[in-house]
Structures are given as C-alpha cells and as structure tokens.
Structure 1
Amino acid sequence: MHSTSLKWLSLVAVIWLQAINGTNTNFPAYSSQLKQLLSISQIQLNNLAFASDAGKLFGWFSGIAAIYLPLWLVLIIGLTLGVIGYGVQYLFVINQIYSLSYWHVFLLTFLAGNGICWVNTVCYVVAIRNFLSNSQVAVGLITSYQGLSAKIYTNIVDVVSPHNKAKTFLIMNSLVPMVIGLVVAPIVREIEVENPKHSNVGFALMFVITIATGIYAMMSSLQFFTNKISSLGILIGIIVSLLFPLLLPIFMKIKELVKPWNANKESVRVYHVTIIDEENIEDNEDKESEDCSEVEDVCVMEEIGVKLMLRRMNFWLYFLVYFLGATIGLVFLNNLGQIAESRGCSATSYLVSLSSSFGFFGRLIPSLLDYFYRISRPASLVALMAPISCAFFLLINKTDNALYISTAVIGVCTGAITSIAVSITTDLFGTKNFSVNHNVVVANIPIGSFLFGYSAALIYHKEGHGNGKCMGMSCYNITFIIWGSLCFLGTLLALILHTRTSKFYSHKQ
C-alpha cells in the first residue's frame, strides 16, 4: 500500500509534465524566423507544422508500450525522442551540422511530435488509474496545464534571448522536458492506496490553485500588464504558480503523520461502504446492461478494442466532430504567426501567449463542470463548436481586436474540446484499451493538419503571387470562410452525436 500523499504527488508530477510538454504549441512564435533561417516557402513551413502533428499517427505505439512497459520507461522514451528531434534541429540551425536537408528537418520534427504522444499517454494513464472515480476532473486539471506550455516557453525565450527566437525555442524544447521528466520519473506511476476514497477537499484546493494560476497567466498576457512588469518577473510568477500544487501532497502527508490512528477507523468505514456500494453497483450494472441492450450502438457500457471501435457509428461521428472542430482550431493556432504577419500585426508573441492562456482555461472548464455538475459531454461539444465557427467568420473583420477576440475564443474552445475528448473516449469505449483507443482518435489531428494547413498554404501562396510572402486580408479570408463553414458542419454532427448518446449520459448521471 502507498500513501495518499504519494498519489497526489503523482498528480503534481504529471501537471509539471503537461506544462512543459506542449512544445509544438510554441511553433507559431518562431515559425516566421525559422522560415527565414531555412529559406523555405510557406508551403514547406506548413509541412513542418504538419510533421509535428503527424507524429500522432503513430501515437498508438505509445499506447501499446504503456500496456507492457513500466510508465517511467515509456516517459523516458518519449523525452528522448524530443531531445533528438529538437536537439539535432538546433545543431543544424547554429551551423554545427551542415548535411541536413529539408526532409531531414521534416523527419526530426515528426520524431519530436511523436515524443509528445508518449509523454501525454503516460500523463493520461496515471491520472485515470490513480483517480478512477474522478478521471474527468483529474484529466481536466492536468491537460489545462498543457495549455500553458506556449506561454512558459515564450516567457523563457523573452528572458534568455528575445532576438534569436528560433534557436532558443529549439534548445528549450529539447532540454526543458528532459530535465523535468528525469526529476519526476520515479513518481510517475500507478499508486495503489487501500482507501479508495478521493478527497473532495483535495480537488477543491487544486481547483483554487489552478484557477489562480490561470488568472495570473491570462492577466500577464495582456499588454497593459506586460508594460508594467518585466519578462523575468512574469516568468518568476509562472514558476512559483507551478510550485503551488505541491502544497496538496504536503498537506496530505502532514495529515497522515498527525492522525495515523484514523486509518483503522477509515478502513472499517470503507469496508462497510464498499459492501453497500458493491451491492448497488451490481444492481446498477444489471440495469445498465438491460437498458443498453435495447439500442446497441447508442448506449455503450462495455470495454471496446480498436477493431470494434472502428465499426461503431458513434466513433466516426466523434472523430469527425474533433476533426472539424478542435483540429481546425489547432491548425489556426499553428498558423497564427503567418496570419498575424499578413494582417500587419507585429504582436505575434502576444497572440501566442494569449491563445495559450485562454487555452488553459478552456481545458480546465470541463473539469470544473464535471466536478460540480455532470452534464452530457457531447452536449458540451455542441456548445463549444458553435463559437469556433463564429470566431472564424469574425476574422474576416480586418481590425486587430477581431484577431485578438477570435484567437481567445478559438483558444478556449479548442482547449475545452481537447480536454473533453479524453473523457468521451473512456465513456464510449471504456478504460481498458484507452491508451490505444485515444491515440487512434487523435490521429485525426495530423490528417486535418495536412488537409486544412496545406489548403491554407496554397491559398496564401496564390494570393502572394508566388513570391513566398503574402500581405493583406486576402491571404486568409477564403480560408477563414472555409474553416468557419466546416466548423458549422461539425456543430451539426456534434448535435447528432448528442442525440445518439443522450440515453447513455442520462443513465450515467
């Protein structure tokens, strides 16, 4: 048996991993400079953004590895892929390696993107296994911190080397995850605790810390805030906020040391509650099986493998909703640097930081809702898809305010869908094969990254008259109309998915 404090410490560990693992999200902050350093076209630059997402096509390898290998080893493999992918690119950019072609850089970016999948898989598995009855809450908390990655790295670069962003981002992307990963690797594992009860006080405290962190991140992204506080001051504040979650395992450890005699009383109480709960669970399972057998594909209560999952209509609806919503949002964020440049907006770092901060809150919102009130997750998808569609149409307005508002809205909704998706996968297809199933679901991201990103690059290239650089609203207006229309279609598909699963979620509540 392990202590409860160690279980909460494992949650803190994956929070730190998530906070520094979104290395692909800071790509827009240095993409324009990388384009110049490599002397490549917009289409080639888009291919590099696609390469990072394409790593997810083989993310299911990490899912299989998580079944058969220790989680710490899966973590180290993912971190090593990131070191190689970004590290070799850094050596190339500083002219320490001269023999790399563009396609070598593409493959290295692909490798780094795949490494992110390995680390994410470890984080999700630890959160779900250690907090099974509150998996959505735990997953929502940790994934919200991944929304901070772009802001963290942007602040580090602003302090270390603001004029050589591409080089600094590449070396930071390589070293920071490995350093943090080696520190937390010993505690990133499944923690078995005799008492299965999860403390509501613990999650409440974690929510307070997380919300405070999000508010600080959002406020420090606003221009009036950055004019008053230095980049170093903002970075120190972010680091301190990431240390605050340690208060929870420390509190739990003190509680264990001060009141050890409560353990026996609690064990007796849990024993009686477990007997009662087991009887209730058996009755509920009988009812669930009976209800779900009425409409096979609408109410899923079984553990489903990949082959069976791919034959389910709900999977394809879910896949397409993600594809036409969060994936398009991610493509927009990947192209944020070029979009801002084409509109004559020089505040690219500000926009990346803004999207990161609002994405943080977006990822946290589903967890908060699930903690206080359980609602149908497909219904949440409907509510999130519609604003993304509206945001793309708003981008047709040429003002900077329209760009800022749309970036914030897309950041919030994309982050929320990303967080909800983890729980929908477990809801519809079970937890046993989650590590493989969810990596199959997110394979839609590289597909969408290629299709949507490549089409946007072609339009950009055409409007730029083939000279490699396009300036003006015409560079992306047609793209925004297409993306907004596709998101609207995704909203309708989300409504169909909600209708098909409404019986299951009403029964689940």
Structure 2
Amino acid sequence: MSSRALQWLSLVGIIWLQSINGTSFNFPSYSSQFKHQLSMSQLQLNNLAFASDAGKLFGFVSGFAANSLPLWLVLVIGSSLGLVGYGIQYLFIINQLHDPSYWVIFLLTVLAGNSICWINTVCYIVAIRNFKAHRHVAVGISTSYQGLSAKIYTDIVESMFSKRSSKRTETFLLLNSVLPLGVCVFVSPLVRVHVVEEQGGMEIGVFLIFMITIATGFFAVFTSLGSISTKLSPLTGLVGILVFLLLPLAVAVAENVKRKTEQPEKHRGGVEAAMEEIGAKEMLKRMNFWLHFGVYFFGATLGLVFLNNLGQIAESRRSSGVSSLVSLSSSFGFFGRLTPSLLDHFFPGKLMKSKPGWMVALLGAMCGGFFLLLWPTDTSLCTSTAIIAGCTGAITSIAVSVTTELFGADNFSINHNLVVANIPLGSFLFGSLAGFLYRNQVPAGAGKCVGVECYRAVFLIWGCLCLVGTLLALVLFARTRSFYSTKRRMVEDSPPLHVLPLSLVS
C-alpha cells in the first residue's frame, strides 16, 4: 500500500477515534437518572460534571507521553483510564460494588475525563504531522467528529431501551468504558505518523472528505430534528451514522489505486510553517496566550458548562426530550467544529481573514443564545441549544489553529493542553454558580425546581460573561491583526515557505 494511502487511512483512523471520544458529552443524557440512583444533590451533580473536566488539568501528561512513547501505547493508556473510570462506576450502578463514596465517584470521573486528553493528543499529532500542508483541514474534520459522540452513544442506548428505562444510565457507563478501548485497539495500526515527501495533489481527496463530512453532518441534524418532531427511530439514525463513518475509507482506497503518473497540483499552501515555534515556558509569558486562554474560558468552556447542564435545564422546563436535545447539540456541535476548516480551505485568506475576528462574531452569537433562553418556550430552548453548541464547536476548532499559528506546531501537544486547562476551572466556577442559584430557587420541601425562573439568573450571568469573552477576543484580534494580514498576503501570493517576523507573533 502506498504511503499516500496510509496517510489517508490515518485520517480515517482518527475520525473513528474522535467519533467515540466525546464520552463526557453524553453525560446530560443520563445525569438526572444518575443523580436519583446515587441520591445526589444538584450541587454534587454539578461537581461531577466539573470532575470530568478536571481530568484535563493533567492533560499535559499525555503530551509528554506522546513525545516519548509509541502512539499506539498512548491510545491504550488513555482508553484504559476510561475503562477504569467509567467501568467501576458501572459496577457501582449494577450493585456489584456496594456503598460507593461520593468522593470515589468524583475521582473516578476525573480519571475518565483525563482519558479523553490522551486520545485527543494522538489525533492532533497524527493530523498535524501527516498533513503538514493541510493540517487545518485534517484537524478540523477529525475534531468535528467528536461532536457526534453524544449522538452516537444516545442513539445506541435509545435503540436498546425506552426513555424511561432504568437501564439507560448503566448502559451509557458501560459503553463509555468499553467502546473507546475497543476502537483504540482496532485502529491503532492505522494511527501512525507517515513520512510523505509530496504533499501536493491532495485536492480531490480533501474535497471528497469534506463532502462526506458535510453529508454526515446533515444526516445527523436531520435525524436529530426528526427525533424531536416526528419521533424518528434512533436505530435509523445509528445505522446511517455508521454507514457515513465507513465512507472515508473510499478516499483511502481511491488514493491507493490512483495512477502515480498524474501531475502533482501546485499547492497554494506552503505558508503553514509561517509561525514561530515557542515552548510552553515561553508561551506562558506571552500576553497573547493569556488573551487566547481567556477567550476560550469565556467562550468554549462556558458553552461546555451549558451543555453539561442541559439535562437539568430541560428537566426544569418539563421537557421530555432531553436525549433529543443532546443529539441536537451534538449535531450542531459537529457542524460548528467543521465550518472553520471548510471556509479556511475553500476561501483561503478571504472569509477566514483573522481567526480571532471570527471568535468575536461567534462569542457575540453565543451571547444572543444565552439571552434567548430567557424565553420560556421549547422553541427558544432548541434554538439556543443549537446556537450555543454550534458556536462552542467552532471556537473549539478555531482555538486549535490559533494555538498552532501563534505558538507553533512542534510543541502543540503540550501547548494546547495548557490552553484547555481552563476547562476544569470554568467548569467548577460556572457549574457551581449554576448549582448554587438553582438551589436557591428550589421551593422549601421540594427536591427540585420547575419553571423558567430556575435558571433565569444563570442565563443572565452567563450571557454577560460571554460579553467579557467578546471583549477579550477583540483585544486579541487587534494584537494579531498584523500577523494575520501578513499571513493572508502570503497565501494570496503563494510564495515558497517563509518565516514571519518574530515581532508579529509575540
């Protein structure tokens, strides 16, 4: 098999890995049942959502491991951590282990949350190193599939059990523990770094991958909306998604049989290396890093906290379609993650002139989504969920590119894990705030709060915090304007590789 075909197979492998790596995203689907089965308070439940994010505090360990260990071993270690974290919780739920301490559950959730970082790190490394001239495409496409994780897990469970079944929680935990390990073992032979001398002549393959990915996203959105409005069978959605996940193999097969005599296309990229390589210690001294950190904190992290609380928010509004909402958020999160790389590839230097500038627009839309939640209708809940999930996914995808462009690709596995270390901090602060304000709205003697007032203050505060993120994004946009202007001119002129002046990225 040619090195080019192996290169595309590695992309297929990380697509499959990312599609099952968002185990924390399906937490809202079973959080209410989990709360009742373990007799937790709302604040304790919020702290469990934080615990999953707290695992990212130690994400840098996976970065160091990936620099010294084989990537297949990093995958096995990461998925094994998830097996232990979710697996022991599963044993508690089915009463094979008795009287679980809350803090044991908390620490197991931290361990499970950390497992995601190991798989993410491998996926980023393979995408960046195997597709040097198209790294933004490879990262954007593969990352977008993580947004489908919640839908895939939810469709599996709903295909097996009714929405009121007591076995749903234990099934989610069982899938979270064994499915990532199984997929990691299966794809580990594919997920390797391949040295491909010629990076040109990939435009057809990139186009096909984009078309498959877009079709997958539309199918996910259609089946999610169908499950809300027409009660479309979850099995239909699951089978369709699995078929779409197999389609990228066609690109790898096509590359293997393609005639080697074709004339390589002149690649317009060449400027992907136009960046300064900065280590973690030096990065922490840069103002741009802290602005980038703050934008992510008040943007993607805030959106993730909302999605973690989606089950409780829907329950407070007496909405019975929690799983459908989770599938909806998963589908729009998928498109959010995909869109930046789509625009960047097909309209280089035009629509995506400045990624911090796009963050400004996305954060503004998120603000509108939070304020729209103040209306007590199912339509506003669905619309806001779609907006916030889509913007959160887009910011997550763009942040990967910003980290690479401003601080380099050589130390990306450590640098970006430091950026996303803000997630557990935001999860704790924003989640605790939501739990505290929710508890104050619970009537005396009642176990839960029902009504739009339960989260009204929370949405107002979150919307205002999102405005703070918008201001930080504006400052980052102003500081990096010269850098992105120079980068855009290089794309338009398509010169050989250049290195931007160091002053532009400091």
* Alignment TM-score, normalising by the size of structure 1: 0.91
Paired amino acid for 1:392: F
Residue 216 of structure 2: aligned partner: 213
| Aligned-pair CA distance for 1:489 | 1.3
- Give the number of the structure whose residues are more often helix, by fraction: 1
Which residue of 167, 174, 196 maps to 1:193?
Answer: 196
- How far apart are the structure 1 equivalents of 2:64 and 2:11? 22
| Aligned-pair CA distance for 1:223 | 3.5
Is 1:491 the equivalent of 2:470? yes
| Aligned-pair CA distance for 1:225 | 7.5
| Aligned-pair CA distance for 1:100 | 2.5
Residue 9 of structure 2: aligned partner: 9
Residue 144 of structure 2: aligned partner: 144
- How far apart are the structure 2 equivalents of 1:76 and 1:380? 36
After superposition, the Cα gap between the structure-2 partners of 1:92 and 1:403, relative to the gap in structure 1 and judged at 3 Å, is same
Instruction: Give runs of aligned pairs for residues 235-246 of structure 1, distance below 5 A.
Output: 235-246=238-249
| Aligned-pair CA distance for 1:178 | 1.1
| Aligned-pair CA distance for 1:470 | 1.1
| Aligned-pair CA distance for 1:187 | 1.3
- How far apart are the structure 1 equivalents of 2:374 and 2:423? 25
Is the contact made by 1:161 and 1:168 (CA closer than 8 Å) also made in structure 2? no
Instruction: Give runs of aligned pairs for residues 161-176 of structure 1, distance below 5 A.
Output: 161-162=161-162, 163=165, 164-176=167-179
Q: Which stretch has the larger CA shift, 99-108 or 4-13? A: 99-108
Runs (4+) of structure 1 exceeding 6 A deviation are none
Residue 298 of structure 1: aligned partner: none
Q: Which stretch has the larger CA shift, 461-470 or 118-127? A: 461-470
Which residue of 392, 398, 401 maps to 2:379?
Answer: 401
| Aligned-pair CA distance for 1:224 | 6.3
| Aligned-pair CA distance for 1:151 | 0.3
After superposition, the Cα gap between the structure-2 partners of 1:506 and 1:77, relative to the gap in structure 1 and judged at 3 Å, is same
Residue 72 of structure 2: aligned partner: 72
Instruction: Give runs of aligned pairs for residues 12-91 of structure 1, distance below 5 A.
Output: 12-91=12-91
Residue 308 of structure 1: aligned partner: 282
Residue 456 of structure 1: aligned partner: 434
Is the contact made by 1:42 and 1:468 (CA closer than 8 Å) also made in structure 2? no
- How far apart are the structure 1 equivalents of 2:365 and 2:228? 27
| Aligned-pair CA distance for 1:198 | 5.1
| Aligned-pair CA distance for 1:305 | 1.0
* Alignment TM-score, normalising by the size of structure 2: 0.92
- How far apart are the structure 2 equivalents of 1:309 and 1:334? 30
Which residue of 205, 230, 235 maps to 1:232?
Answer: 235
Is the contact made by 2:371 and 2:460 (CA closer than 8 Å) also made in structure 1? yes
What number of residue pairs does the alignment pair up?
480
Is the contact made by 1:219 and 1:225 (CA closer than 8 Å) also made in structure 2? no
Is the contact made by 2:157 and 2:172 (CA closer than 8 Å) also made in structure 1? yes
What secondary structure, in the 3-state scheme, does the structure 2 residue paired with 1:311 have? Answer: coil
| Aligned-pair CA distance for 1:246 | 0.7
Residue 156 of structure 2: aligned partner: 156
| Aligned-pair CA distance for 1:194 | 2.6
CA deviation string 1:44-77 (max 9, x = no partner): 0011100000000000000111111111111110
- In structure 1, the gaps of 5 or more residues are 289-300
| Aligned-pair CA distance for 1:99 | 4.5
- How far apart are the structure 1 equivalents of 2:231 and 2:326? 19
Is 1:323 the equivalent of 2:323? no
Is the contact made by 2:132 and 2:199 (CA closer than 8 Å) also made in structure 1? no
Is the contact made by 2:227 and 2:324 (CA closer than 8 Å) also made in structure 1? no
Residue 469 of structure 1: aligned partner: 448
Q: Which stretch has the larger CA shift, 365-374 or 447-456? A: 365-374
CA deviation string 1:112-165 (max 9, x = no partner): 000000000000110000011111111110011000000000000001233121
After superposition, the Cα gap between the structure-2 partners of 1:95 and 1:225, relative to the gap in structure 1 and judged at 3 Å, is closer
Paired amino acid for 1:329: G
- How far apart are the structure 1 equivalents of 2:50 and 2:98? 24
Is the contact made by 1:136 and 1:423 (CA closer than 8 Å) also made in structure 2? yes
Residue 321 of structure 2: aligned partner: 347
Residue 182 of structure 2: aligned partner: 179
Is the contact made by 1:8 and 1:248 (CA closer than 8 Å) also made in structure 2? yes
Two-structure CA RMSD over aligned residues (Å): 2.0
Paired amino acid for 1:117: C
- How far apart are the structure 1 equivalents of 2:232 and 2:430? 38
Identity of aligned residues (%): 59
Is 1:444 the equivalent of 2:418? no
- How far apart are the structure 2 equivalents of 1:454 and 1:228? 34
Paired amino acid for 2:400: V
